[in-house]
Structure 1
Amino acid sequence: MATLPAAPLRWPSASCTAASHLPHLPLPSAIAAVLVRILSLPDKDFIQEQLNKRASYLSSRLIGTSTGQLVVVPCNIGFHWILTMINVEKEIVYLLDPLRHRIYDQDWKYVVNMALTLYNAEAGRKGKKQPTWEVVKAPRQPDAKQCGFYIMRYMKDIIENFGVGDKESLPSLFTNLKYTLVEINEVRSEWAECMLDYI
């Protein structure tokens, strides 16, 4: 089945731990650094404006999708990568999170829901009151540093296998809840080869 990738909001990295992005400081200095970040957070109006901009951008990527097509949307929600698959026609959103099997980031849920609302308005169709969200239990990362590679592996498996044989639903693609080191190293190698083209 053909898929239409949507541009990620940030570039993938292997890490999903906020602590790894802080310098190695003595405890009082580290606490002070965190407080500075908290106190310098933008106000609610600014945050809402940014969320609406993301929704508008995502909505523009949904235009022109074909019947039965899934839109692939990798997203960094703050030191952690997740994968969202959107069935625009049925307004079903599939969430794949390698760290937890539940909807965790409500801001991202708002962005996707608003994007579908904007798309429906542009397409002139009524649509659902609220999109349906389904959490897909895909393999979970064994630590806090491999979310980017797991998201790339999810996309590889979905693009290569979805709709093939009895793989007619996203959950049916992920019968095992673990990836082998060989499977993860495969996407690591592909990512490295891709990066070499830009060096």
Structure 2
Amino acid sequence: MQDEAARPQAVQEIPVTTKKSNGTAKPAQRVIKKYPNRRLYDTDTSTYITLADVKQLVMDAEPFTVRDAKTNEDLTRSILLQIILEEEAGGAPMFSEAALANIIRFYGHAMQGFMGSYLEKNVQAFTDLQAKMAEQSKTMTPEMWSQFMNVPNPLMQGMTAFEKMQEQMQKNTEQLLGAFGLKR
């Protein structure tokens, strides 16, 4: 089991309670109950919702948890994995078969915790870079975009540095795995 202290902290702190429009306090984290008939019930809106609605909560960065209606077991990871499965099965998958096979190979392996942490940190770094670019692009005019595309830009250099860091991390990982007798 990975040490909780080693896991990256959430980017956004979640308040303990917030106020509804009528002035009453509500829990900051939305609770969705999953019933044996596989239906999802949003206790915040008192309505049944779909997996697509849960995906929208993720997209909107809404804090939520999914609980089994009978046992109160936390099913959030299971639901998130189900959303990923549907996304991968549709249109343009994010992961190649080779990438998925490599991820599977890490389960039960001594490096499983390292791999999870590695993926989590890199996805967070990519998300942070994407947010920074989105923030900077809000103020850009078409002329500025033209200059951005034609002139070396510090942000683009940052992306190049990020790519180089990724390449170096990949080389280091391959060397480390080689030391354990694991090759690609």
Same fold judged by TM-score > 0.5?
no
In our comparison, the structure showing a higher alpha carbon Rg is 2
- TM-score by length of structure 2 reads 0.27
- TM-score by length of structure 1 reads 0.26
Q: Which has the higher contact order (CA 8 A, sep 6+)?
A: 1
